[in-house]
Structure 1
Amino acid sequence: MNRRIVAGLDGSTESVAAARWAAREAELREVPLHLVHAEEWETSAGVPVTGADVRHQWAQNLLLETSESLRGEHPGLDISTEWLDGLPTASLIGVAAVSDMLVLGSRGLGGIAGSVLGSVGMAAVRTTERPVVLVRGSEDGIARSGSGHPARDMLMGVDISRPCDRLLAFAFEEASRRACTLRVMHSWSAPPVLGYAPPLYPGIGREANRGIAAALHDLLAPWQHKFPSVHLVERVTVGHPAQELLDAEDGAGIVIVGRRIRRSVFGAHIGPVAHALIHHALAPVAVIAHD
Protein backbone atom coordinates (compact mmCIF):
# COMPACT_ATOMS: atom_id res chain seq x y z
CA MET A 1 0.00 0.00 0.00
CA ASN A 2 1.21 3.50 -0.84
CA ARG A 3 1.33 5.89 2.12
CA ARG A 4 -0.77 8.71 0.65
CA ILE A 5 -4.13 10.48 0.78
CA VAL A 6 -6.26 10.40 -2.38
CA ALA A 7 -8.78 13.16 -3.13
CA GLY A 8 -11.29 13.01 -5.98
CA LEU A 9 -11.91 16.11 -8.09
CA ASP A 10 -14.97 16.60 -10.29
CA GLY A 11 -15.04 20.39 -10.68
CA SER A 12 -17.61 21.04 -7.95
CA THR A 13 -17.14 23.34 -4.96
CA GLU A 14 -17.51 20.30 -2.71
CA SER A 15 -14.70 18.39 -4.39
CA VAL A 16 -12.37 21.39 -4.06
CA ALA A 17 -13.23 21.58 -0.36
CA ALA A 18 -12.49 17.85 -0.14
CA ALA A 19 -9.10 18.36 -1.81
CA ARG A 20 -8.23 21.13 0.64
CA TRP A 21 -9.32 18.95 3.58
CA ALA A 22 -7.23 16.10 2.16
CA ALA A 23 -4.19 18.40 1.86
CA ARG A 24 -4.45 19.33 5.55
CA GLU A 25 -4.80 15.65 6.44
CA ALA A 26 -1.82 14.64 4.30
CA GLU A 27 0.30 17.34 5.92
CA LEU A 28 -0.81 16.18 9.37
CA ARG A 29 0.15 12.57 8.55
CA GLU A 30 3.30 13.62 6.69
CA VAL A 31 2.31 11.66 3.56
CA PRO A 32 1.84 12.74 -0.10
CA LEU A 33 -1.46 13.94 -1.55
CA HIS A 34 -2.71 12.37 -4.80
CA LEU A 35 -5.42 14.26 -6.71
CA VAL A 36 -7.49 12.23 -9.17
CA HIS A 37 -10.26 12.84 -11.66
CA ALA A 38 -12.47 9.94 -12.76
CA GLU A 39 -14.14 10.58 -16.12
CA GLU A 40 -17.94 10.76 -16.32
CA TRP A 41 -18.60 11.26 -12.61
CA GLU A 42 -22.27 11.94 -12.05
CA THR A 43 -21.34 14.72 -9.62
CA SER A 44 -19.26 16.59 -12.21
CA ALA A 45 -20.02 20.29 -12.38
CA GLY A 46 -19.19 22.52 -15.31
CA VAL A 47 -17.80 19.78 -17.55
CA PRO A 48 -18.63 20.61 -21.19
CA VAL A 49 -20.39 17.87 -23.13
CA THR A 50 -17.89 17.65 -25.96
CA GLY A 51 -15.32 15.27 -27.37
CA ALA A 52 -12.93 13.13 -25.37
CA ASP A 53 -9.92 15.35 -26.09
CA VAL A 54 -11.66 18.47 -24.76
CA ARG A 55 -12.86 16.63 -21.64
CA HIS A 56 -9.38 15.28 -21.06
CA GLN A 57 -7.89 18.77 -21.34
CA TRP A 58 -10.54 20.13 -18.96
CA ALA A 59 -9.65 17.43 -16.42
CA GLN A 60 -5.93 18.10 -16.75
CA ASN A 61 -6.49 21.84 -16.23
CA LEU A 62 -8.62 21.12 -13.17
CA LEU A 63 -5.95 18.89 -11.65
CA LEU A 64 -3.16 21.37 -12.47
CA GLU A 65 -4.95 24.44 -11.11
CA THR A 66 -6.02 22.68 -7.92
CA SER A 67 -2.58 21.22 -7.26
CA GLU A 68 -0.90 24.59 -7.79
CA SER A 69 -3.35 26.27 -5.43
CA LEU A 70 -2.73 23.64 -2.75
CA ARG A 71 1.05 23.91 -3.12
CA GLY A 72 0.68 27.60 -2.36
CA GLU A 73 -1.18 26.76 0.85
CA HIS A 74 1.08 23.83 1.76
CA PRO A 75 4.55 24.55 0.31
CA GLY A 76 6.20 21.43 1.71
CA LEU A 77 3.49 18.97 0.67
CA ASP A 78 4.23 16.38 -2.04
CA ILE A 79 1.27 16.59 -4.46
CA SER A 80 0.71 14.41 -7.53
CA THR A 81 -2.18 14.23 -10.01
CA GLU A 82 -3.78 11.55 -12.16
CA TRP A 83 -6.55 11.40 -14.74
CA LEU A 84 -8.20 8.00 -14.24
CA ASP A 85 -8.93 6.31 -17.53
CA GLY A 86 -11.33 3.42 -17.93
CA LEU A 87 -14.46 2.66 -15.92
CA PRO A 88 -14.67 5.47 -13.32
CA THR A 89 -16.01 3.34 -10.46
CA ALA A 90 -13.39 0.63 -10.83
CA SER A 91 -10.63 3.20 -11.34
CA LEU A 92 -11.50 5.16 -8.19
CA ILE A 93 -11.87 2.03 -6.07
CA GLY A 94 -8.58 0.73 -7.44
CA VAL A 95 -6.59 3.85 -6.55
CA ALA A 96 -8.26 4.03 -3.12
CA ALA A 97 -7.37 0.42 -2.34
CA VAL A 98 -3.63 1.21 -2.38
CA SER A 99 -3.88 4.42 -0.33
CA ASP A 100 -4.34 5.40 3.30
CA MET A 101 -7.58 7.27 2.73
CA LEU A 102 -10.01 8.42 0.01
CA VAL A 103 -11.55 11.92 0.35
CA LEU A 104 -14.59 12.96 -1.71
CA GLY A 105 -16.90 15.96 -1.85
CA SER A 106 -20.47 15.63 -0.61
CA ARG A 107 -22.98 18.18 -1.86
CA GLY A 108 -25.69 19.73 0.31
CA LEU A 109 -29.17 20.40 -1.08
CA GLY A 110 -30.09 24.05 -0.63
CA GLY A 111 -30.86 25.10 2.94
CA ILE A 112 -31.46 21.62 4.31
CA ALA A 113 -28.92 18.93 5.11
CA GLY A 114 -28.65 16.42 2.30
CA SER A 115 -26.14 14.77 0.06
CA VAL A 116 -25.62 14.14 -3.62
CA LEU A 117 -22.66 11.83 -3.79
CA GLY A 118 -23.20 10.21 -7.18
CA SER A 119 -23.05 6.54 -8.09
CA VAL A 120 -19.26 6.47 -8.44
CA GLY A 121 -18.60 8.01 -5.02
CA MET A 122 -21.27 5.90 -3.31
CA ALA A 123 -19.86 2.74 -4.89
CA ALA A 124 -16.45 3.68 -3.47
CA VAL A 125 -17.94 4.11 0.02
CA ARG A 126 -19.69 0.74 -0.22
CA THR A 127 -16.80 -1.19 -1.72
CA THR A 128 -13.38 0.07 -0.65
CA GLU A 129 -12.00 -1.19 2.64
CA ARG A 130 -9.90 1.95 3.12
CA PRO A 131 -11.28 4.88 5.16
CA VAL A 132 -13.46 7.21 3.08
CA VAL A 133 -14.06 10.81 4.19
CA LEU A 134 -16.90 12.89 2.72
CA VAL A 135 -16.55 16.66 2.92
CA ARG A 136 -19.13 19.42 2.42
CA GLY A 137 -18.34 22.61 0.54
CA SER A 138 -19.21 24.59 3.68
CA GLU A 139 -16.11 23.14 5.38
CA ASP A 140 -13.98 25.74 3.58
CA GLY A 141 -15.85 28.52 5.37
CA ILE A 142 -14.86 27.39 8.87
CA ALA A 143 -12.19 29.49 10.52
CA ARG A 144 -8.93 27.79 11.45
CA SER A 145 -5.50 28.85 12.59
CA GLY A 146 -2.60 28.10 10.25
CA SER A 147 -2.90 25.49 7.52
CA GLY A 148 -4.19 22.63 9.69
CA HIS A 149 -7.66 21.32 10.47
CA PRO A 150 -9.91 23.55 12.60
CA ALA A 151 -9.49 22.89 16.33
CA ARG A 152 -12.73 20.99 16.94
CA ASP A 153 -13.75 17.81 18.76
CA MET A 154 -14.10 14.48 17.00
CA LEU A 155 -17.34 12.49 17.34
CA MET A 156 -17.61 8.73 16.89
CA GLY A 157 -20.52 6.32 17.11
CA VAL A 158 -19.83 2.73 18.13
CA ASP A 159 -21.77 -0.52 18.36
CA ILE A 160 -20.57 -2.26 21.52
CA SER A 161 -22.10 -5.60 20.54
CA ARG A 162 -19.40 -6.48 17.96
CA PRO A 163 -15.64 -5.97 17.56
CA CYS A 164 -14.69 -2.75 15.77
CA ASP A 165 -10.91 -2.46 16.16
CA ARG A 166 -10.35 -0.73 12.81
CA LEU A 167 -12.88 1.93 13.73
CA LEU A 168 -11.35 2.52 17.17
CA ALA A 169 -7.81 2.55 15.80
CA PHE A 170 -8.70 5.21 13.22
CA ALA A 171 -10.45 7.42 15.78
CA PHE A 172 -7.78 7.28 18.48
CA GLU A 173 -4.91 7.72 16.02
CA GLU A 174 -6.65 10.69 14.42
CA ALA A 175 -7.48 12.28 17.77
CA SER A 176 -3.87 11.81 18.86
CA ARG A 177 -2.59 13.54 15.70
CA ARG A 178 -4.98 16.44 16.14
CA ALA A 179 -4.53 16.69 19.92
CA CYS A 180 -8.29 17.11 20.27
CA THR A 181 -11.12 15.66 22.34
CA LEU A 182 -12.64 12.40 21.12
CA ARG A 183 -16.32 12.06 21.96
CA VAL A 184 -17.57 8.47 21.72
CA MET A 185 -21.28 7.65 21.72
CA HIS A 186 -23.31 4.48 21.93
CA SER A 187 -27.08 4.72 21.55
CA TRP A 188 -29.58 2.05 22.45
CA SER A 189 -33.31 1.49 22.57
CA ALA A 190 -35.15 -0.53 25.20
CA PRO A 191 -36.77 -3.75 23.93
CA PRO A 192 -40.56 -3.44 23.50
CA VAL A 193 -41.14 -5.64 26.52
CA LEU A 194 -39.39 -3.04 28.69
CA GLY A 195 -41.21 -0.14 27.12
CA TYR A 196 -43.84 -0.19 29.87
CA ALA A 197 -41.41 -0.89 32.69
CA PRO A 198 -39.85 2.53 33.46
CA PRO A 199 -43.07 4.07 34.87
CA LEU A 200 -43.51 0.99 37.10
CA TYR A 201 -39.84 0.36 37.89
CA PRO A 202 -37.80 3.53 37.27
CA GLY A 203 -34.59 1.76 38.24
CA ILE A 204 -34.75 -0.66 35.30
CA GLY A 205 -33.78 1.96 32.71
CA ARG A 206 -31.06 3.43 34.91
CA GLU A 207 -29.60 0.00 35.62
CA ALA A 208 -29.58 -0.91 31.93
CA ASN A 209 -27.90 2.38 31.08
CA ARG A 210 -25.22 1.80 33.74
CA GLY A 211 -24.51 -1.66 32.34
CA ILE A 212 -24.20 -0.34 28.78
CA ALA A 213 -21.97 2.52 29.96
CA ALA A 214 -19.72 0.00 31.69
CA ALA A 215 -19.52 -2.10 28.52
CA LEU A 216 -18.62 0.99 26.48
CA HIS A 217 -15.92 1.91 28.99
CA ASP A 218 -14.47 -1.62 28.84
CA LEU A 219 -14.40 -1.44 25.04
CA LEU A 220 -12.53 1.87 25.06
CA ALA A 221 -10.19 1.27 28.01
CA PRO A 222 -7.41 -0.55 26.06
CA TRP A 223 -7.37 2.22 23.45
CA GLN A 224 -7.28 4.93 26.09
CA HIS A 225 -4.32 3.11 27.64
CA LYS A 226 -2.60 2.97 24.24
CA PHE A 227 -3.30 6.67 23.57
CA PRO A 228 -3.15 8.31 27.03
CA SER A 229 -2.84 11.81 25.57
CA VAL A 230 -6.29 11.61 23.95
CA HIS A 231 -8.98 13.39 25.97
CA LEU A 232 -11.84 10.89 25.84
CA VAL A 233 -15.49 11.64 26.59
CA GLU A 234 -17.84 8.64 26.76
CA ARG A 235 -21.60 8.99 26.42
CA VAL A 236 -24.53 6.57 26.33
CA THR A 237 -27.88 7.78 25.00
CA VAL A 238 -31.29 6.26 24.41
CA GLY A 239 -32.59 6.64 20.86
CA HIS A 240 -31.80 5.84 17.26
CA PRO A 241 -27.99 5.88 16.74
CA ALA A 242 -28.08 7.96 13.56
CA GLN A 243 -30.36 10.63 14.99
CA GLU A 244 -28.41 10.78 18.26
CA LEU A 245 -25.15 11.33 16.33
CA LEU A 246 -26.74 14.00 14.15
CA ASP A 247 -28.06 15.77 17.25
CA ALA A 248 -24.58 15.67 18.83
CA GLU A 249 -22.49 16.66 15.80
CA ASP A 250 -22.69 20.43 16.38
CA GLY A 251 -19.14 21.70 16.69
CA ALA A 252 -17.53 18.42 15.63
CA GLY A 253 -14.57 18.56 13.26
CA ILE A 254 -15.35 15.09 11.92
CA VAL A 255 -17.96 12.40 12.57
CA ILE A 256 -16.66 8.83 12.44
CA VAL A 257 -18.86 5.82 11.80
CA GLY A 258 -18.23 2.19 10.95
CA ARG A 259 -19.35 0.07 8.02
CA ARG A 260 -19.46 -3.70 8.41
CA ILE A 261 -17.61 -5.53 5.64
CA ARG A 262 -20.16 -7.92 4.15
CA ARG A 263 -18.87 -10.17 1.40
CA SER A 264 -22.26 -11.09 0.00
CA VAL A 265 -23.46 -12.20 -3.41
CA PHE A 266 -26.04 -9.42 -3.13
CA GLY A 267 -23.33 -6.72 -3.02
CA ALA A 268 -21.87 -4.43 -0.38
CA HIS A 269 -23.96 -2.22 1.91
CA ILE A 270 -23.05 0.71 4.12
CA GLY A 271 -25.66 0.27 6.85
CA PRO A 272 -28.44 2.64 7.97
CA VAL A 273 -26.37 4.74 10.39
CA ALA A 274 -23.57 5.45 7.91
CA HIS A 275 -26.16 6.09 5.19
CA ALA A 276 -28.00 8.64 7.34
CA LEU A 277 -24.79 10.47 8.27
CA ILE A 278 -23.63 10.62 4.65
CA HIS A 279 -26.92 12.23 3.71
CA HIS A 280 -27.46 14.58 6.63
CA ALA A 281 -24.30 15.35 8.64
CA LEU A 282 -22.83 18.82 8.11
CA ALA A 283 -19.34 17.93 9.41
CA PRO A 284 -16.96 15.75 7.38
CA VAL A 285 -17.96 12.08 7.73
CA ALA A 286 -15.36 9.30 7.90
CA VAL A 287 -16.73 5.86 7.00
CA ILE A 288 -14.45 3.10 8.30
CA ALA A 289 -14.88 -0.43 6.97
CA HIS A 290 -14.31 -3.16 9.55
CA ASP A 291 -15.15 -6.81 10.20
Structure 2
Amino acid sequence: MLSPVIAGVDGSAESLAAAEWAAREALRRDRPLRLVHVWDWHPRGHDGEPANAAQRQLARHATRQAEERIRSVVPDVLLTDEQVEGPATAALLKAAEQADLLVLGSRGLTGFTGLLVGSVAQGVVAKATRPVVLVRAGEEAEDEHFPADDGSPSTRTGCLDVVLGIDLADACDEVIEFAFEEAQLRRARLRVVYAWQPPSAISLGPGDIALVNDPQRAEEWQGFLHAVLAVWRDKYPDTEVLETVVEGKASTALVRAASVASLLVVGRRLSERPTVSRIGPVTHAAVHHVGCPLAVVAHA
Protein backbone atom coordinates (compact mmCIF):
# COMPACT_ATOMS: atom_id res chain seq x y z
CA MET A 1 0.00 0.00 0.00
CA LEU A 2 1.27 3.47 -0.87
CA SER A 3 2.23 5.62 2.10
CA PRO A 4 -0.21 8.54 2.41
CA VAL A 5 0.15 12.27 2.48
CA ILE A 6 -0.84 13.15 6.05
CA ALA A 7 -2.31 16.48 7.15
CA GLY A 8 -2.65 17.53 10.77
CA VAL A 9 -6.00 19.23 11.43
CA ASP A 10 -7.21 21.12 14.49
CA GLY A 11 -10.10 23.22 13.19
CA SER A 12 -8.02 26.36 12.63
CA ALA A 13 -7.92 28.31 9.38
CA GLU A 14 -4.26 27.33 9.00
CA SER A 15 -4.95 23.62 9.32
CA LEU A 16 -7.85 23.82 6.87
CA ALA A 17 -5.57 25.50 4.32
CA ALA A 18 -2.95 22.82 5.03
CA ALA A 19 -5.50 20.04 4.54
CA GLU A 20 -6.62 21.46 1.19
CA TRP A 21 -3.00 21.89 0.05
CA ALA A 22 -2.28 18.33 1.16
CA ALA A 23 -5.25 17.07 -0.86
CA ARG A 24 -3.95 18.71 -4.02
CA GLU A 25 -0.50 17.32 -3.31
CA ALA A 26 -1.86 13.82 -2.70
CA LEU A 27 -3.65 13.96 -6.05
CA ARG A 28 -0.45 15.10 -7.78
CA ARG A 29 1.50 12.27 -6.15
CA ASP A 30 -1.27 9.71 -6.74
CA ARG A 31 -1.35 9.00 -3.00
CA PRO A 32 -4.17 8.70 -0.47
CA LEU A 33 -4.71 11.52 2.01
CA ARG A 34 -5.06 10.90 5.74
CA LEU A 35 -6.29 13.58 8.13
CA VAL A 36 -4.96 13.32 11.68
CA HIS A 37 -6.31 15.16 14.72
CA VAL A 38 -4.39 14.90 18.01
CA TRP A 39 -6.30 15.24 21.25
CA ASP A 40 -5.03 15.28 24.82
CA TRP A 41 -6.15 12.37 26.96
CA HIS A 42 -7.05 13.10 30.58
CA PRO A 43 -6.81 10.36 33.25
CA ARG A 44 -9.95 9.10 34.91
CA GLY A 45 -11.01 11.31 37.75
CA HIS A 46 -13.22 14.21 38.59
CA ASP A 47 -12.80 15.96 35.21
CA GLY A 48 -11.27 13.15 33.15
CA GLU A 49 -14.27 11.63 31.40
CA PRO A 50 -16.07 14.92 30.54
CA ALA A 51 -12.80 16.36 29.26
CA ASN A 52 -12.13 13.31 27.12
CA ALA A 53 -15.65 13.40 25.71
CA ALA A 54 -15.23 17.06 24.82
CA GLN A 55 -11.88 16.35 23.15
CA ARG A 56 -13.40 13.56 21.06
CA GLN A 57 -16.23 15.85 20.02
CA LEU A 58 -13.77 18.56 18.97
CA ALA A 59 -11.76 15.96 17.07
CA ARG A 60 -14.82 14.79 15.15
CA HIS A 61 -15.76 18.38 14.34
CA ALA A 62 -12.25 19.30 13.15
CA THR A 63 -11.91 16.27 10.88
CA ARG A 64 -15.45 16.61 9.53
CA GLN A 65 -14.88 20.30 8.75
CA ALA A 66 -11.65 19.49 6.90
CA GLU A 67 -13.29 16.61 5.02
CA GLU A 68 -16.15 18.80 3.83
CA ARG A 69 -13.74 21.45 2.56
CA ILE A 70 -11.59 18.89 0.76
CA ARG A 71 -14.51 17.10 -0.86
CA SER A 72 -15.80 20.41 -2.19
CA VAL A 73 -12.52 21.36 -3.91
CA VAL A 74 -10.57 18.10 -4.45
CA PRO A 75 -13.33 15.48 -4.75
CA ASP A 76 -11.19 12.82 -6.42
CA VAL A 77 -8.68 12.34 -3.61
CA LEU A 78 -8.86 9.10 -1.59
CA LEU A 79 -9.53 10.38 1.93
CA THR A 80 -9.45 8.83 5.41
CA ASP A 81 -9.18 10.32 8.88
CA GLU A 82 -8.21 9.34 12.41
CA GLN A 83 -8.10 10.82 15.89
CA VAL A 84 -5.11 9.97 18.05
CA GLU A 85 -4.10 10.73 21.62
CA GLY A 86 -1.34 13.19 22.40
CA PRO A 87 1.14 14.54 23.37
CA ALA A 88 0.83 16.32 20.06
CA THR A 89 4.49 16.48 19.04
CA ALA A 90 5.09 12.78 19.67
CA ALA A 91 1.84 11.79 17.93
CA LEU A 92 2.61 13.84 14.83
CA LEU A 93 6.18 12.58 14.67
CA LYS A 94 4.87 9.02 14.82
CA ALA A 95 2.38 9.82 12.04
CA ALA A 96 5.17 11.34 9.95
CA GLU A 97 7.09 8.05 10.04
CA GLN A 98 4.26 6.47 8.03
CA ALA A 99 3.83 9.39 5.65
CA ASP A 100 5.06 10.15 2.18
CA LEU A 101 4.75 13.77 3.32
CA LEU A 102 3.41 15.48 6.45
CA VAL A 103 1.55 18.78 6.04
CA LEU A 104 0.80 21.18 8.91
CA GLY A 105 -0.74 24.59 9.30
CA SER A 106 1.90 27.12 10.23
CA ARG A 107 -0.15 28.31 13.19
CA GLY A 108 -3.28 26.97 14.83
CA LEU A 109 -5.77 27.13 17.66
CA THR A 110 -4.65 24.10 19.66
CA GLY A 111 -1.80 21.73 18.90
CA PHE A 112 -0.04 24.03 16.46
CA THR A 113 -0.43 27.34 18.29
CA GLY A 114 2.50 29.72 18.26
CA LEU A 115 4.79 28.21 15.66
CA LEU A 116 6.80 31.40 15.47
CA VAL A 117 7.71 31.26 19.15
CA GLY A 118 8.43 27.55 19.45
CA SER A 119 5.38 25.29 19.23
CA VAL A 120 4.39 21.72 18.50
CA ALA A 121 4.67 22.29 14.76
CA GLN A 122 8.15 23.71 15.06
CA GLY A 123 9.06 20.73 17.24
CA VAL A 124 7.82 18.41 14.51
CA VAL A 125 9.82 20.23 11.84
CA ALA A 126 12.92 20.04 14.02
CA LYS A 127 12.68 16.28 14.64
CA ALA A 128 10.81 14.66 11.73
CA THR A 129 12.80 12.38 9.47
CA ARG A 130 10.26 12.69 6.64
CA PRO A 131 9.58 15.89 4.66
CA VAL A 132 7.26 18.36 6.38
CA VAL A 133 5.36 21.17 4.61
CA LEU A 134 4.06 24.22 6.47
CA VAL A 135 1.11 26.11 4.99
CA ARG A 136 -0.19 29.55 5.97
CA ALA A 137 -3.83 30.41 6.48
CA GLY A 138 -5.52 31.67 3.33
CA GLU A 139 -3.42 29.58 0.94
CA GLU A 140 -5.56 28.81 -2.14
CA ALA A 141 -5.05 26.74 -5.27
CA GLU A 142 -4.79 29.94 -7.32
CA ASP A 143 -1.79 31.04 -5.27
CA GLU A 144 0.32 28.30 -6.89
CA HIS A 145 -0.33 29.65 -10.39
CA PHE A 146 0.58 32.65 -12.49
CA PRO A 147 -2.29 35.14 -12.79
CA ALA A 148 -4.42 35.16 -15.93
CA ASP A 149 -3.73 37.64 -18.73
CA ASP A 150 -6.11 40.14 -17.14
CA GLY A 151 -4.31 39.84 -13.80
CA SER A 152 -7.02 37.83 -12.07
CA PRO A 153 -6.26 34.68 -10.02
CA SER A 154 -6.45 31.45 -12.00
CA THR A 155 -5.82 27.72 -11.74
CA ARG A 156 -5.70 27.34 -15.53
CA THR A 157 -2.30 28.99 -15.92
CA GLY A 158 1.09 27.41 -15.29
CA CYS A 159 2.48 26.96 -11.80
CA LEU A 160 4.86 29.44 -10.26
CA ASP A 161 8.47 28.37 -9.73
CA VAL A 162 9.46 25.84 -7.14
CA VAL A 163 12.41 27.42 -5.30
CA LEU A 164 15.23 25.34 -3.84
CA GLY A 165 17.61 26.88 -1.35
CA ILE A 166 20.89 25.04 -1.71
CA ASP A 167 24.06 25.02 0.37
CA LEU A 168 26.90 24.14 -1.99
CA ALA A 169 29.11 23.29 0.98
CA ASP A 170 26.58 20.64 1.98
CA ALA A 171 24.56 19.84 -1.16
CA CYS A 172 22.28 16.95 -0.24
CA ASP A 173 20.73 14.55 -2.74
CA GLU A 174 17.51 14.08 -0.74
CA VAL A 175 16.76 17.79 -0.73
CA ILE A 176 17.66 18.33 -4.39
CA GLU A 177 15.65 15.31 -5.52
CA PHE A 178 12.60 16.44 -3.52
CA ALA A 179 12.70 19.85 -5.21
CA PHE A 180 13.06 18.37 -8.69
CA GLU A 181 10.16 15.99 -8.01
CA GLU A 182 7.94 18.84 -6.84
CA ALA A 183 8.78 20.90 -9.92
CA GLN A 184 8.09 17.93 -12.17
CA LEU A 185 4.75 17.22 -10.49
CA ARG A 186 3.68 20.82 -11.12
CA ARG A 187 5.31 21.09 -14.56
CA ALA A 188 6.93 24.17 -13.09
CA ARG A 189 10.34 25.71 -13.43
CA LEU A 190 12.82 24.97 -10.66
CA ARG A 191 14.73 28.00 -9.42
CA VAL A 192 17.83 26.97 -7.47
CA VAL A 193 19.20 29.72 -5.24
CA TYR A 194 22.64 29.85 -3.70
CA ALA A 195 23.80 32.85 -1.68
CA TRP A 196 27.45 33.43 -0.88
CA GLN A 197 29.29 35.94 1.25
CA PRO A 198 32.86 37.16 0.77
CA PRO A 199 35.29 35.66 3.27
CA SER A 200 36.57 37.95 5.98
CA ALA A 201 40.22 38.73 6.55
CA ILE A 202 40.13 36.47 9.61
CA SER A 203 38.88 33.43 7.67
CA LEU A 204 41.62 33.57 5.01
CA GLY A 205 45.25 32.73 5.30
CA PRO A 206 48.16 35.05 4.48
CA GLY A 207 48.06 36.22 0.87
CA ASP A 208 44.60 34.75 0.17
CA ILE A 209 42.57 37.98 0.17
CA ALA A 210 43.81 39.25 -3.17
CA LEU A 211 43.65 35.92 -5.00
CA VAL A 212 40.05 36.16 -6.14
CA ASN A 213 37.83 39.22 -6.46
CA ASP A 214 34.06 39.21 -5.95
CA PRO A 215 33.03 38.90 -9.63
CA GLN A 216 35.38 35.95 -10.02
CA ARG A 217 34.04 34.34 -6.86
CA ALA A 218 30.49 34.70 -8.18
CA GLU A 219 31.52 33.12 -11.47
CA GLU A 220 33.20 30.22 -9.68
CA TRP A 221 30.15 29.59 -7.50
CA GLN A 222 27.96 29.69 -10.62
CA GLY A 223 30.13 27.03 -12.25
CA PHE A 224 30.10 24.91 -9.11
CA LEU A 225 26.30 25.12 -8.89
CA HIS A 226 25.95 24.14 -12.54
CA ALA A 227 28.21 21.13 -11.98
CA VAL A 228 26.28 19.99 -8.90
CA LEU A 229 22.97 20.15 -10.79
CA ALA A 230 24.22 18.50 -13.99
CA VAL A 231 23.28 14.96 -12.98
CA TRP A 232 19.82 16.15 -11.89
CA ARG A 233 19.22 17.96 -15.18
CA ASP A 234 19.92 14.66 -16.93
CA LYS A 235 17.54 12.79 -14.62
CA TYR A 236 14.76 15.37 -15.07
CA PRO A 237 15.23 16.54 -18.67
CA ASP A 238 11.74 18.03 -18.93
CA THR A 239 12.21 20.34 -15.95
CA GLU A 240 13.50 23.81 -16.72
CA VAL A 241 16.12 24.89 -14.21
CA LEU A 242 17.13 28.45 -13.42
CA GLU A 243 20.35 28.78 -11.45
CA THR A 244 20.62 31.89 -9.29
CA VAL A 245 23.82 32.82 -7.46
CA VAL A 246 23.69 35.98 -5.38
CA GLU A 247 25.99 37.70 -2.93
CA GLY A 248 24.42 38.15 0.48
CA LYS A 249 22.63 36.28 3.25
CA ALA A 250 20.91 33.04 2.25
CA SER A 251 17.81 33.84 4.30
CA THR A 252 17.33 37.19 2.55
CA ALA A 253 17.80 35.67 -0.91
CA LEU A 254 15.32 32.87 -0.22
CA VAL A 255 12.64 35.11 1.23
CA ARG A 256 12.91 37.30 -1.86
CA ALA A 257 12.79 34.35 -4.28
CA ALA A 258 9.87 32.74 -2.44
CA SER A 259 7.71 35.86 -2.81
CA VAL A 260 6.76 34.61 -6.29
CA ALA A 261 6.96 30.85 -5.76
CA SER A 262 4.52 27.99 -5.45
CA LEU A 263 6.79 26.19 -2.96
CA LEU A 264 10.09 26.80 -1.18
CA VAL A 265 12.26 23.77 -0.41
CA VAL A 266 15.02 23.86 2.20
CA GLY A 267 17.03 21.18 3.95
CA ARG A 268 17.56 20.39 7.62
CA ARG A 269 20.45 18.28 8.84
CA LEU A 270 19.44 15.44 11.16
CA SER A 271 21.02 15.82 14.58
CA GLU A 272 23.25 13.06 15.84
CA ARG A 273 21.53 13.57 19.19
CA PRO A 274 17.78 12.77 18.87
CA THR A 275 16.93 14.91 21.90
CA VAL A 276 18.28 18.06 20.22
CA SER A 277 15.69 20.06 18.24
CA ARG A 278 17.36 22.43 15.77
CA ILE A 279 16.23 23.70 12.39
CA GLY A 280 19.13 25.99 11.50
CA PRO A 281 19.12 29.76 10.91
CA VAL A 282 18.07 29.69 7.24
CA THR A 283 15.12 27.37 7.83
CA HIS A 284 14.21 29.38 10.93
CA ALA A 285 14.12 32.58 8.86
CA ALA A 286 12.01 30.87 6.18
CA VAL A 287 9.50 29.71 8.81
CA HIS A 288 9.17 33.25 10.08
CA HIS A 289 9.11 35.23 6.86
CA VAL A 290 8.10 33.14 3.82
CA GLY A 291 4.48 33.36 2.73
CA CYS A 292 4.31 30.44 0.29
CA PRO A 293 4.20 26.79 1.45
CA LEU A 294 7.54 25.73 2.90
CA ALA A 295 8.93 22.19 2.60
CA VAL A 296 11.61 21.17 5.09
CA VAL A 297 13.48 18.04 4.05
CA ALA A 298 15.61 16.25 6.62
CA HIS A 299 18.93 14.77 5.55
CA ALA A 300 21.93 13.07 7.12
Scaled by the length of structure 1, what TM-score is found? 0.86
SS at match of 2:138: helix
Give the secondary-structure state (helix, strand or coil) at the position aligned to 1:233. Answer: strand
2:176 to 168, 183, 195: 168
Paired position in structure 2 for 1:46? none
Identity %, equivalent residues: 38
Which residue does the alignment assign to 1:45? none
Retained in 2: the 8 A contact 1:2–1:98? Answer: no
Residues 184/159 of structure 1: CA separation in 2 closer, same or farther (3 Å cut):
same
Structure 2 Cα separation of the partners of residues 137 and 283 of structure 1: 10
Equivalence for 2:38: 38
In the alignment, the residues of structure 2 paired with residue 5 and residue 283 of structure 1 have an alpha-carbon distance, to the nearest angstrom, of 19
Structure 1 residues 65 and 177, CA gap change in structure 2 (3 angstroms): same
**Runs of at least 4 residues off by over 4 Å:** 200-203
Match of 1:219 in 2: 228
What letter corresponds to residue 299 of structure 2 in structure 1?
A: H
Task: After TM superposition, give the deviation of residue 52 of structure 1 in Å.
Answer: 1.6
Which residue in 1 is equivalent to 2:271?
262
199, 214, 219: which one pairs with 1:210? 219
CA-CA distance at 1:265 after TM superposition:
6.2
Point out where structure 1 has 5 or more consecutive residues left out of the alignment.
41-49, 109-113
Shift of 1:247: 1.8
Counterpart of 1:51 in structure 2 is 51
State the TM-score, normalized to the length of structure 2: 0.84
Q: How many residues align?
A: 272
SS of the residue aligned with 1:170? helix
2:26 aligned residue = 26
Quickly say closer, same or farther: Cα 1:115–1:91, change in 2 above 3 A: closer
The question of 1:250 aligning with 2:259 is answered yes
RMSD: 2.5
Change over 3 Å in CA distance of 1:265–1:3 after alignment to 2: closer
Q: Distance in 2 between matches of 1:11 and 1:68?
A: 12
Deviation at 1:133, TM superposition (A): 0.4
1:107 offset after TM fit, Å? 3.6
**Residue 24 of structure 1: how far off its partner (Å):** 0.4
- Following the alignment from structure 2 to structure 1, what is the Cα–Cα distance between the partners of residues 253 and 172? 19
Hey, what's the Cα distance between the residues in 2 that align with 1:207 and 1:194? 20
Task: Show the counterpart of 2:250.
Answer: 241
> 2:66: which partner in 1?
66
